[in-house]
Each structure stands twice: as C-alpha cells, then as structure tokens.
Structure 1
Amino acid sequence: MLRSFDLVLIGVMTAAAVVTYSIKHRADDKLQEVRRLETEIRLEKDTIDLLKADWALLTQPSRLERLTNVYQSELQLVPTAPTQLAMPVELPMPRSQLPMPETTIEDLIASAGGNVAAAIKGVDEARNRAPASAIPVPIPRGGFPVDIISTGSVKR
C-alpha cells in the first residue's frame, strides 16, 4: 500500500510541476508582449514629438511669409478681411441692445384667462412666503451666472 501511495504522490508532484511550468511560461510570454507594447508606445510618442517639432518648423511665420513672397504670382494670395470670418450681423448682440417684446408674459397670461393668472399669482405668493433655502446655489466653472451661459448673451 505504501508503494501505491508513493506513486500517487509522485504523480501529483509531476502534475503540479507541469502546471507551474505552464503558468510560468504563459507569464513570460505576457511579459514579453508587455515589453513589446511598451516599446511600440515609446516609438509612437517619439514619432509624435518629432512630428510636432516638424509642424512647428513648417508653420513658422517667417518661413510662411518668405514662401508667400516667393509664390505670390502663382498663388495670388490676399490678406483675409475680417468679414470673411464672420459678419457683424452674425455676432451675438449684448443683452442691453436686445429689442424689448411688445407684449409681456404677464399680458399673455392675463389674456389667456383668469384661472392661469390666479394660479401663477398663487405660486408667486407661495414662493414669497416660503423660507429661504440654506442650500447654496453652485456657480458653474468660470463664475458666470447660468442665464448668461444658457442664452449665450454677454452682459456689459
């Protein structure tokens, strides 16, 4: 019986050694793949840095001015007028210059019927009677009030 038990233990040890070796081999393969990917990433970063340097060299104003002078007859370039980018009519109007509507919202509500006006008046009265909230209202990034951001108009 001792002999068969020894054979079973030897088999278990052999199986454990094979499993350990296969796990180690897979881990080494993954480590090589990680190193290969890190090398590729480093190469891509170096390429991006090189391309940024080339772009900076190619877009130097003095170089571009020299090229425009050399190829002026072929390109027939002219300075860009400010109206080519945006017309003054397309720019947003300051809030102080916005036209005032002929009818106000209160006039529209009053003309809709007494029930609507009474309901809104009741809401306004309830709001005025309600205690002020202790919860601070967050200010968005940039510190601008929300109405300026949502409407796109600029207060001057």
Structure 2
Amino acid sequence: MLRSFDFILIGVMTATAVVTYTIKHKAELKLEEVHRLESEIKLERDTIDLLKADWALLTQPNRLHRLINVYQSELDLVPTAPTQLAMPKELPMPKSQLPQPETTIEQLIAGVDPEVRAAIRGVDKAKATKAASTVPVPLPRAARSIDVISTGSVED
C-alpha cells in the first residue's frame, strides 16, 4: 500500500510542478508584454515632446513676424477686428437644416414666378453696375524660400 501511495504522491508533485511552471511561463510572457508596452509608451511620449518642440519653434513670434514681413505684399495681412469674431450660435445653420424652396429649378429657369423674374432683373442690374470688390485677392507667390529653419523629424 505504501508503494501505490508513493506513486500517487509522485504524480501529484509532477502535476504541481507542471502547473507551477506553466503559471511562471505565462507570468514571464505578460512581463515581456508589459515591458514592450512601456517602451511603446515611452516612444510615443518622446514623439509628442518632439512635436511640441517643433510646434514651439514654428510658432515663435519673431519667426512669424519675419514671415509676415516677407509675405505682406502678397497676403495683405491685417490684424483681426473684434467684429470679425463670431460665436458658434451666430453661424448660419447647416445645409441639412435649411428650409426647402417653394419653387423648383424648372420654374427658376423659365422665370414663371413674378418674384423670380424681379429677382433675376435685380441680379442683372447688380451685374451691370459691377461694384468694386472689397475682398483682397492674393498675388501669385514668388519662388523664394524664407523659412529655412530645420526641425527634427519624428521618423528616422
């Protein structure tokens, strides 16, 4: 009886050793995955820091002032007036919320509706007077490079 009990104990010890080794192996795999994820996180943080440094370099006031001076004749840049700023509720509604017109395109083309005919005459009259445009139009850019600042790159 002692001999069969020994074999049972040896089997239990072997099974316990196999289970222990399996758990240890899974824990080591998880630890490797944690180290890999930590290195990826460090790489992403380094990339973010590099991009922040690039952004700080590109948005330096003296650099922007120099670019403004170079491209002033082409862009006609002026300071933003306080009246040009709008709140989101002041913006026009999206296209999907616009009311549908009561006249069809065929009626507009034919000019059947008297209001449409009056509007077309008003448009023709406005085209005939041809008011001067107040919107500045940029001139074509010259082939010169003012921005010669070299910055770091995220990719190697």
Place the TM-score, normalised by the shorter chain, in its bin. Answer: 0.5 to 0.7
Q: In the TM superposition, what is the alpha-carbon distance from 1:2 to its structure 2 partner? A: 1.3
Matched residues in 1 for 2:73 and 2:42: separation? Answer: 44
1:7 is matched with 7
- Give unmatched runs, 5+ long, in structure 2: 91-156
- Give unmatched runs, 5+ long, in structure 1: 91-156
Matched residues in 1 for 2:15 and 2:67: separation? Answer: 74
Structure 1 residue 24 corresponds to structure 2 residue 24: yes
Give, as a single letter, the amino acid of the residue that structure 2 aligns with 1:74. Answer: E
Which aligned pairs between 1:109-120 and structure 2 lie closer than 5 A? none
- CA-to-aligned-CA distance 1:95-123 (integer Å, 9 cap, x gap): xxxxxxxxxxxxxxxxxxxxxxxxxxxxx
1:105 is matched with none
Give the aligned CA root-mean-square deviation in angstroms.
Answer: 1.8
Q: In the TM superposition, what is the alpha-carbon distance from 1:55 to its structure 2 partner? A: 0.6
Which aligned pairs between 1:4-153 and structure 2 lie closer than 5 A? 4-85=4-85
Q: In the TM superposition, what is the alpha-carbon distance from 1:81 to its structure 2 partner? A: 1.3
- CA-to-aligned-CA distance 1:37-95 (integer Å, 9 cap, x gap): 111111111111111111111001110111112122332322211221259xx9xxxxx
Higher relative contact order (CA closer than 8 Å, sequence separation 6+)? 2
Give, as a single letter, the amino acid of the residue that structure 1 aligns with 2:34. Answer: V
Which structure's residues are more often helix, by fraction?
Answer: 1
Q: With the length of structure 2 as denominator, give the TM-score of the two structures.
A: 0.53
- Across the two proteins, how many residue pairs are aligned to each other? 88
State the identity %: 82
- CA-to-aligned-CA distance 1:114-133 (integer Å, 9 cap, x gap): xxxxxxxxxxxxxxxxxxxx
2:104 is matched with none
Give, as a single letter, the amino acid of the residue that structure 1 aligns with 2:31. Answer: L
Q: With the length of structure 1 as denominator, give the TM-score of the two structures.
A: 0.53
